[in-house]
Every structure is written in structure tokens, then in C-alpha cells.
Structure 1
Amino acid sequence: MLRKILKWIGGGIGVLVALILIFYFVMHIVVNNKRAKTYNVEVRMFDIPSDSASIAEGAHIYATKGCGDCHGEDLSGKIFLDDGMVGTIRAANLTSGKGGRPANYTDRDWIRAFRHGLRPDGKPLIIMPSYEYCKLADHDLGSLIAYCKSVPPVDAAPASIKLGPLGTVLSGLDKLPLIPADQINHLEKYPQKIKKSVSVEYGKYLTLSCTGCHKPDLKGGDNVIPGGTPVRDITASGNIGKWTLSQFMNVLRTGATPDGRQLKNEDMPWQMTKNYTDEELQALYLYLKTL
């Protein structure tokens, strides 16, 4: 009798292992198909400036959008995720140095990457949060591209991605934002310029940098990184409803909360938000208080 029970248990385990392997194989195929897909989109062109004022504005946008967290201060790219189960991901070298963008990389290619999350050949970029950058006004996106183009070339390793077992499964189930192009309305048109002012409207525009983690409704929830700290509600029903403007600005500039906590930058990127101007922080606070 015991032998039969052990045989049944062994058979059940064998079937379970086989099902897991089949499931993983299916997820692997799904992810590979997503990465191999070619998108046919019409890139709406606009002029990219080259003056020093636009480049300086682009540098500010680069700092306040957290681009350096993945691409580094010198834009040469770096490994920003290194986990055996999830995967190892190195961001692209955005400079014209060895391992970076080719000499024939055009303004159309820059706009295609930011607005559509696509490479010049129409294949999708990986991880790059183009679903946020696509919503930038033409003026701001043009300034950001102008800055990226102005940075001196740096030789560095090219972009690379190696998904682990968990990363493959999460990507296959759309629980990990692997393909930004799938989250973009490629037909949508965006404004030419947004007026910078201490206003609710400008504050709403600035939250484009917040929605990737705090969700489109800014109510927070599960972290997009497996095992990461749950993301806070930053509407008026969260701490924003309790903090004064000066407290809010201090949190985003230092990571120190009114109740004495020191936020980790990996949980709340205050090293990024400390670059916001007073005007930007005031506008952001105004908008968040309305939610």
C-alpha cells in the first residue's frame, strides 16, 4: 500500500514538474514574440533645437525625469537591475561613443524612441518608459533630445537584457512592463508647449514622472519591481492631504518626512525630485491636493 502511495505521489510530482516546464516554455515563446514584433507607426516630426538655452532646459528635464537612474549622469548607461530570478538589464549608452547610438542616428530616431518606444527598425525598446515620455510637449521633448545629442561621446558596453525565470514569467503575463510600445497610443497627438506656472494644470503635467510607480490615478499599490516596497498613495487621501507645502517640498528635496522617517531613494527617488524648481514643486502640490 505504501509503495502505491509513493508511486502516486511521485507521479503527481512528475506531472506538476512537466506542467511547470510547459508553462515556462510558453511564457518564453510569448516574450520572444513580443520582443520580435515590428510596429509600423507614423513619426510626427518637429524641429529639435540646438541653442544653449534649450540644451540647459533639456539637462533639467533629464535630471527631473530620473533618466540618470538608468542611463547614468554621463548618459553612458549602466546596469540598473541585477537579480538572478528577475534578470540583468543594462540601459543603453545614449552617447555617440563606442557601444552607443550609431553615427546615422537621426532626429526621427530620437522621436520614435521617446514617443513610440521603438528602435529605428520598428522593433520595441525594452523597459524604457516611453509611455511616460511620449506625453511630453514637443518643446520639452525637443529640449531633452537636444541635451542628449550635446553630451560628449562615452565608450561603454551596449544595452543588454537577460531575463531570469521570474522575469520571463512576469513579462509573459504582462506583470513586468517589458514592452513600452504596447502601452502607448501611437495615434495620439501632444501639445506643442505647456505653460510653466504655479497652477493645477502645470502640476498635472508634471505628474507624468509619477504615474510609472504611483499608477495613473496616483493612488499607489504594488511595486512594479517584484519584491519592492509597496508604492504610496500621493493624492490628498494620503500624506499629501496632511502635509503643508513646505513639508511637501522638504520631503521631495531631502527624503525626510515630517514624522521623522528618512525615505530610501530606491523607494522614493528624492535624489531626482530634489532637482525640481520651487515653481514645479508648488504646481505639483497644488494638483495633488485636488485629487
Structure 2
Amino acid sequence: MKTVLRIVAGLALLLLVVVVGGYLWASRATASTLARTIDTHAVDFPIPWPDVGPGGELGDSAAASVDPRQAALERGAHLVRARYPCADCHGENLGGGVMMDAMPVAQAFGPNLTLGEGGVTRDYGPSDWDRAVRHGVGTDGRPLAMPAVEFRSMSDQELADIVTYIRSLPPVDNTVMPFRTGPIGKMLVATGAFGFSADALPHFDDHAAMPPEAGPTVEFGAHLAATCAGCHHTHYAGGSFPGEPGWPPSSNLTPAGAIGGWSLEEFRRVMREGVRPDGTEVAVPMTYILGLGQAMSDMELEAIYLFLQSLPATETPD
């Protein structure tokens, strides 16, 4: 009996050593991952964006019938409320929100973007905005929890319009807790199972100055649908993705998925009401996107639909 107890005690001690050793290794690896610096290019663009002529050329602000800043504000408001899910992470007032609160995995809170106390963008210039939004890299060069892979295709004009709009918002005094990883999260980061956008993006390629011409076209739809890549991947065939425990795999958006048999009106209903043609409802986190769908125009939703229908039929990866 004593021999059995000694064996059990020895195995328990060995397990404890393995667990503690693994945790210490994961903690050091995670700290190293979060502390490293990533080089990016430095860009510059005007904020607010100048007025634009019908052919895309810069116009004459003095002769414009619409104040360029007011036009940028209106475009920026639409971008934030209809095309880019800023509020999902940064809160409705953009003064800070919850990205993930799932310990022992991780806690990630969208920082305060306003000009109030605790606002992280108060001293941002164009290049700082570019690094954070389109590269997932902070002003100190360290990787952010920002899902920049969804915003890589954002043009200079769109980013300038969004900045103009954010700077016009009422200041919110709120200091947001920094990104934290729990024991499981440390292991995921250490093993590479939880990645950062900064590691998946090019950092020295040029960005488009302006978005494609708006219209019910595949090209414009591809631009709008780029924000879907964070969950549905760049192949749009869906599958598993980093998220809170319990979130289901993302759906296949190519014609190989159920969407291949949807009509335009059925697609619009899914995007605005969250109800599929078979009567089932979409699940979290797709429910967070319904506000964007409701704010989009019929033309914008048609463009996305045309783009998704144009994709090659791709089976969801295992």
C-alpha cells in the first residue's frame, strides 16, 4: 500500500512540476511576444480629407458647395456606423468597450478613442492611426489586440474621415485596462494558437489613397467585405477563429456554403434582421454585426452580395 501511495505522490509531484514549469514557460514566452517591437512604414495624409471631384481628383475647397470638413464628418459617421465595427470593441460612444472578457483565457478591452482623459489617440498623427488601425501596432511598436487584418484594405481617405469623425465626438473620460492574458491565454499565445494581426500583415506596402467608386459592383463589394476576413478568413470559407469560448465556427460565405442559394433580399434580411431563409437565427458574434447591416444602404449590401456570389466555391477547411 505504501508503495502505491509513493507512486501516486511521485506522479502528482511530477504533474505539478510539469504544470508549474509549463505555466512559467508560457508566461515568459507571452511576455516576450507582447514586449517585442515591430517595424512599420510611416505614412502621411491630410485630416480632414480635402474635397473630392466626381472623377476622384482633388477639388477646389474654396469653390466647393459643401464644406470639406463637414463632408468628411458625414462620411466618417457612415463608415463608423455602417462599414467598420468600431463600436463593437470601443463602445457606442467610442470611449472604451469590451472586446473579450473571458478569463482564464484573456481580457481585452477596446481603448478610449475620444479626446477625453484616458483617450489613447489624443496625440496621434496620421502615421500613428495607420499603424494602429491597419497594422495592429502601437505607438511603442508593440503588437496590439486590434484586429487590423479586417482594416488592412481601408484607404487613406476612409481612415482620415474616421479620424475626423472621432475627433468631433464628445470627450469621454475613461482609462481602459490594458490587454491581459490568463493561464490558458498565455499557453495559446506561447504556442502560436492565438495570433496577432501584426504578425499576419505586410507593414511596408502602400495603402490605397481612396476607396473604389461606390456602386453595386464586385470591386466595391470586395472592399466592403474585407472586414469579414477577421472571422470568415481571407478565403471567406469560414471555419474556426480566435474568439471567446463557446463561439461557433464562422459560416462559409462562398457559393459552397448556404449563402450560395440565397437571393439578394434573403441576404439583406440576414444582414439586417439576423434571420436566415430557413428561419434560424444567426449566432454570436454575427449578432454584433446586425447594427452595421441596418445602417448600410441597399446598394452597399448588394455590392457585398455580388462579391460573395462571385467567389470560387470553396469548402470550409478542416
Relative to structure 1, the CA distance from residue 228 to residue 154 in structure 2 (aligned partners, 3 Å threshold; closer, same or farther) is: same
Runs (4+) off by over 6 Å: none
1:39 partnered with 2:38: yes
Equivalent-residue separation in structure 2 for 1:5 and 1:114 (angstroms): 59
1:78 counterpart residue number? 97
1:94 partnered with 2:96: no
Equivalent-residue separation in structure 1 for 2:279 and 2:16 (angstroms): 49
2:270 counterpart residue number? 251
Equivalent-residue separation in structure 2 for 1:218 and 1:118 (angstroms): 25
| SS of residue paired to 1:81 | strand
| SS of residue paired to 1:160 | coil
Question: Aligned AA for 1:285?
Answer: Y
Q: Is the 8 A contact 2:29 2:190 kept in 1?
A: yes
Shift of 1:159: 4.0
Question: Aligned AA for 2:123?
Answer: N
1:228 counterpart residue number? 247
Question: Aligned AA for 2:201?
Answer: I
Relative to structure 1, the CA distance from residue 121 to residue 162 in structure 2 (aligned partners, 3 Å threshold; closer, same or farther) is: closer
Q: Is the 8 A contact 1:255 1:265 kept in 2?
A: no
1:273 partnered with 2:282: no
Shift of 1:98: 0.9
Alignment partner of 2:209 out of 192, 200, 208: 192
Equivalent-residue separation in structure 2 for 1:152 and 1:270 (angstroms): 25
TM-score, normalised by the number of residues in structure 2: 0.85
Equivalent-residue separation in structure 1 for 2:103 and 2:130 (angstroms): 33
Equivalent-residue separation in structure 2 for 1:27 and 1:286 (angstroms): 45
| Gaps in structure 1 of 5+ consecutive residues | none
Relative to structure 1, the CA distance from residue 115 to residue 263 in structure 2 (aligned partners, 3 Å threshold; closer, same or farther) is: closer
Question: Aligned AA for 2:22?
Answer: F
Query: What do residues 66-94 of structure 1 show as CA deviations (whole Å, max 9, x unaligned)?
Result: 11011011110123322221122221000
Relative to structure 1, the CA distance from residue 103 to residue 210 in structure 2 (aligned partners, 3 Å threshold; closer, same or farther) is: closer
| SS of residue paired to 1:85 | coil
Equivalent-residue separation in structure 2 for 1:289 and 1:199 (angstroms): 11
| SS of residue paired to 2:291 | helix
State the percentage of identical aligned residues: 32
| Gaps in structure 2 of 5+ consecutive residues | 50-68, 312-318
1:144 partnered with 2:143: no
1:133 counterpart residue number? 151
Q: How many residues align?
A: 288
TM-score, normalised by the number of residues in structure 1: 0.92
Alignment partner of 2:197 out of 173, 176, 180: 180
1:207 counterpart residue number? 225
Shift of 1:118: 2.0
